[in-house]
Amino acid sequence: MSRLARFLLLFSGLLAASAAAVAIALAGFDWDHVRPWLNNKVTQASGRQFEIRGKLALVWRYEGEAGFSMQRWMPWPRLTADDVHFGNPAWASSGPDMLQARRAVLTLNPLALVSHQLILSSLVLEAPQLVLERDAQGRANWQLENPPQWKIRVNRMSFGEGSIRYIDARREADISATVRQLDHDQDHFRVAWDLTGNYGGAPLTGSGKSGNLLTMRDGRHPYPLTAELRLGQADIKLQGSITQPFKPSALDLQLEVSGKNLSQMEPILRRELPAIGPFATEGHLVASFDEEARRWTYEKFSSRLGKSKVSGNLHLRMGADARPKVEARLEAETLDMTELARLFGEEEAPPPRKGGKPKARPVAQAKMLPAESVHAERLTAIDADIEFQGRKIVATKRLTLGNVSARVRGKDGLLALAPLKLNVAEGSINGELRLDGRQQPAKMDLKASLRELRVRQLFPGVRSADPGRLSGDIALSGRGDSVASLLASSDGKVSAVVSQGTISQMVLEQMGLNVSGMIATKLFGDRQVRLNCGVADLEVAGGIMTTRSLVADTEESSIYGEGRFDFGKEEIKLELQPETKGMRLISLSSPLEVSGSFTKPSIEVDKTTMAMKAGSALALGVLAPVAAAVLPLINIGSGEGESCASLIARTVKPHPAPAPMSAEAPLEQGSRIDSSGR
């Protein structure tokens, strides 16, 4: 053996013997005399009141660490303190103590003290009581006024049974939990707990299991968790993991939530919600949070709200610098918009007053077209790729849509709803909408085709005649931030065809089209007249819609129309000229002229009769397909007369080839998220 080796061995032996001698000497020391000094040192270092009120004792023991090291040969101090109290900050409302324990036993690594590290190889607490509190200003009692200058680490911690109380003034939370340590690992769970209290003003009860409490602040490893909770009347089940629960950096949870109505989720979502129910959702929630972005994925979920059922995958990314992006693949078995509209503050219309008389209608406004902003900047504020399939959508109590297929794509201020396909009124609608929000006002392009729509289903109030069908095409583009401004600047074309119907004052009034009813009365009197076919071919330029062809063929006459609709001024100027078949309409050989505002037009026969004021918008009553009323003057049935094919061939003029839309599809076909939502 070399001299150096003999020297090191001798030195180690002497050092160990010296340490043992010191330990033997200290073993008989009364450590209660050190207690005031220790209390004062911890109080000064932490800025909180610290007090050991019971007995203080210290023993030395060998930890037996593996390897050839100084720590293996040295005894470690083991400190036992009874009745330990660690204080709350002055602002806390939960009492003087943040932590108290009947007994605390800790074993220190003595050599770590040299490098300003307080390393506890073990910490044992008996009957610990911990209070975690955050006030309305956001202050937390676990954040020390004087941050520790030493690095503190606990390698092992154990406790029998204790309690934890959590108070959060902002969330109206006051929750108490009894906590017990499991004897051995149960699927990575080390702690079981039962809780009771209030959250968001609602009673909260539940139980669950979680991992080692020491790993809660470890950002390297997820913290396992399983729980069954009841918040108010809502049931919540979750299983998975949370990384750093006090300041989450990641979530991976299988989630189930259900209840009698959605308002029971107000404490969690922290917003007022309507009492729609029952509700339930089940799916896999994955999230990550870092300095660059927050990412949420809700995958393979199935949700039910009232009569509505939706399933699919949803992914949301919100970055500090990048634009928010949402990707989704959604399927709806049923969507009841009459219920879901209440989520946006739209209430159902109140019932008629007692006695059966409806409330009087308000006086007609000066303008008919909606001038409220559609907030195009909000629609284009996020990037999106959303696909939707809906088997049944209840649009109103009387109108149901079927087999809805739509895709919304948006990127860098461009938004496209294309394609849009749906079945309605036993017919179909295909269309696309493109919005360019990069310029102000926003530019919109709309194309839509209506095929074989049954009018009686579009106007359920019509009962006096058999229903029929309506077809039409719309191609419009414009700029603006409201329906009124978009139409006032629009260019494009509108065409519509109806065949084999009936027209009368009574039918039109049932539709709510009083002005059109007046026109029908002037032409035919108060009786039904068979409408064999009607054709409208209209051109829109600079917000003015002019007639290229406007013809209606009835059993008694052919009626030709000519005029224009000015969407900017909301004015109409239209001339209807009947041509008699036989002798029935001799008295109406003079034209019928309609002019004035959309809300208050006047109707004159041969410019000699008294003007009659209308009670509703003529643009909706005569021909305004862009406002969802394409040729509403018909109630289709069987009839004879000119066929629509021949009438179209004779009256409709060819349009020039349309210019391509300026707002092309903002995305390529787009990347799809897989079943995991990524």
Least confident of 437-441, 443-447, 477-481: 437-441
With 0-12 / 13-18 / 19 or more C-beta atoms within 10 angstroms meaning exposed / middle / buried, residue 6 is exposed
Instruction: Confirm if 387 and 330 have CB atoms less than 8 A apart.
Output: yes
Residue 51 reports pLDDT greater than 90: yes
Residue 237 reports pLDDT greater than 80: yes
The tokens of 641 are what? 């007369």
Least confident of 202-216, 461-475, 502-516: 502-516
Count of the separate structural domains present in the chain: 2
With 0-12 / 13-18 / 19 or more C-beta atoms within 10 angstroms meaning exposed / middle / buried, residue 538 is buried
- pLDDT band for 5, please (50, 70, 90 cuts): very low
Residue 122 bridge partners (DSSP): 107
Closest Cα partner for 104 from 77, 122, 131?
A: 122
Cβ-proximal residues to 490 (8 Å cutoff; 6+ apart), any chain: 476, 477, 478, 540, 543, 567, 626
Element (H, E) at 387: strand 383-394
Least confident of 224-228, 444-448, 664-668: 664-668
Instruction: Confirm if 603 and 592 have CB atoms less than 8 A apart.
Output: yes
Per-position DSSP letters for 414-457, written without gaps between them: EEEEEEEEEEETTEEEEEEEEEETTSSS-EEEEEEEEEEEEHHH
pLDDT of residue 356: 46
Least confident of 173-187, 300-314, 660-674: 660-674
Residue 604 bridge partners (DSSP): 593
pLDDT of residue 199: 92
pLDDT digits (tens, 9 = 90+) for 131-188: 999 999 999 998 887 777 778 888 888 888 999 999 999 889 999 999 998 877 667 8
Residue 565 reports pLDDT greater than 90: yes
Mean of pLDDT values over 613-633: 31
581 found inside a domain? yes
Closest Cα partner for 224 from 233, 237, 215?
A: 215
- pLDDT band for 304, please (50, 70, 90 cuts): very high
Average pLDDT over the chain reads 77
pLDDT of residue 27: 56
Least confident of 99-108, 212-221, 470-479, 578-587: 578-587
Domain that includes residue 84, residue range = 22-159
Element (H, E) at 525: none
**CA 127 to CA 83: how far, in whole Å?**
10
The tokens of 4 are what? 């150096």
Cβ-proximal residues to 4 (8 Å cutoff; 6+ apart), any chain: none
Residue 524 reports pLDDT greater than 90: no
pLDDT digits (tens, 9 = 90+) for 356-404: 444 444 444 567 888 888 777 777 778 999 999 999 999 888 889 999 9
Residue 664 reports pLDDT greater than 60: no
- pLDDT band for 77, please (50, 70, 90 cuts): confident
- pLDDT band for 346, please (50, 70, 90 cuts): low
Instruction: Confirm if 119 and 153 have CB atoms less than 8 A apart.
Output: yes
326 found inside a domain? no
Mean of pLDDT values over 187-212: 92
| Number of Cβ atoms within 10 Å of the Cβ of 340 | 18
Residue 513 reports pLDDT greater than 70: no
Cis status, amide bond into 36, omega within 30 of 0? no
Instruction: Confirm if 388 and 407 have CB atoms less than 8 A apart.
Output: yes
| Number of Cβ atoms within 10 Å of the Cβ of 503 | 25
Who wins on pLDDT, 244 or 209? 209
pLDDT of residue 662: 42
| Number of Cβ atoms within 10 Å of the Cβ of 278 | 12
Residue 650 reports pLDDT greater than 80: no
The tokens of 252 are what? 């991976």
Mean of pLDDT values over 456-477: 74
Mean of pLDDT values over 249-271: 88
257 found inside a domain? no
The tokens of 136 are what? 């309305």
Residue 242 reports pLDDT greater than 70: yes
**CA 302 to CA 309: how far, in whole Å?**
8
Mean of pLDDT values over 195-205: 93
Q: Which of 141, 159, 177 is the last residue of a domain?
A: 159
Least confident of 168-177, 421-430, 458-467: 458-467
The tokens of 80 are what? 């036992």
Cis status, amide bond into 419, omega within 30 of 0? yes
Q: Which of 132, 159, 186 is the last residue of a domain?
A: 159
Cβ-proximal residues to 553 (8 Å cutoff; 6+ apart), any chain: 531, 532, 533, 534, 559, 641, 642, 647
- pLDDT band for 305, please (50, 70, 90 cuts): very high
- Beta pairing class for 129-134 and 161-168: parallel
- Beta pairing class for 234-243 and 50-52: unpaired
Q: For the chain, how many residues are written?
A: 678
pLDDT of residue 256: 97
Q: What is the pTM of this model?
A: 0.72
Residue 567 reports pLDDT greater than 90: yes
Element (H, E) at 201: none
**CA 167 to CA 257: how far, in whole Å?**
24
Who wins on pLDDT, 529 or 156? 156
Mean of pLDDT values over 251-262: 93
pLDDT of residue 47: 86
- pLDDT band for 212, please (50, 70, 90 cuts): confident
Closest Cα partner for 418 from 429, 402, 405, 401?
A: 405
pLDDT of residue 110: 82
81 found inside a domain? yes
665 found inside a domain? no
| CA separation, residue 563 to residues 475, 493, 539 (Å) | 20, 15, 11
328 found inside a domain? no
Instruction: Confirm if 435 and 415 have CB atoms less than 8 A apart.
Output: yes
Residue 240 reports pLDDT greater than 90: yes
**CA 559 to CA 576: how far, in whole Å?**
7
Residue 8 reports pLDDT greater than 50: no
Closest Cα partner for 175 from 147, 150, 206, 198?
A: 198
| CA separation, residue 413 to residues 317, 320, 663 (Å) | 17, 18, 11
Residue 556 reports pLDDT greater than 90: no
One-letter amino acid of 70: M
Residue 321 bridge partners (DSSP): none
Least confident of 431-440, 578-587, 600-609: 578-587
pLDDT of residue 239: 96
Mean of pLDDT values over 669-678: 39
Least confident of 33-47, 109-123, 225-239, 620-634: 620-634
268 found inside a domain? no
| CA separation, residue 461 to residues 228, 347, 352, 399, 419 (Å) | 51, 22, 17, 12, 31
339 found inside a domain? no
**CA 628 to CA 483: how far, in whole Å?**
12
Per-position DSSP letters for 218-249, written without gaps between them: -TTS-EEEEEEEEETTEEEEEEEEEESTTS-S
The tokens of 624 are what? 């305004």
pLDDT of residue 634: 30
Who wins on pLDDT, 349 or 321? 321
- pLDDT band for 600, please (50, 70, 90 cuts): confident
Q: Over the range 8-41, which residues count as b (16 or more CB within 10 Å of their CB) and which as e?
A: eeeeeeeeeeebeeebeeeeeeebeeebeebbee
pLDDT of residue 360: 44
pLDDT of residue 34: 86
The tokens of 342 are what? 């209440």
pLDDT of residue 92: 94
Residue 530 reports pLDDT greater than 80: no
Q: Which of 159, 182, 211 is the last residue of a domain?
A: 159
- pLDDT band for 262, please (50, 70, 90 cuts): confident
DSSP state of 510: H
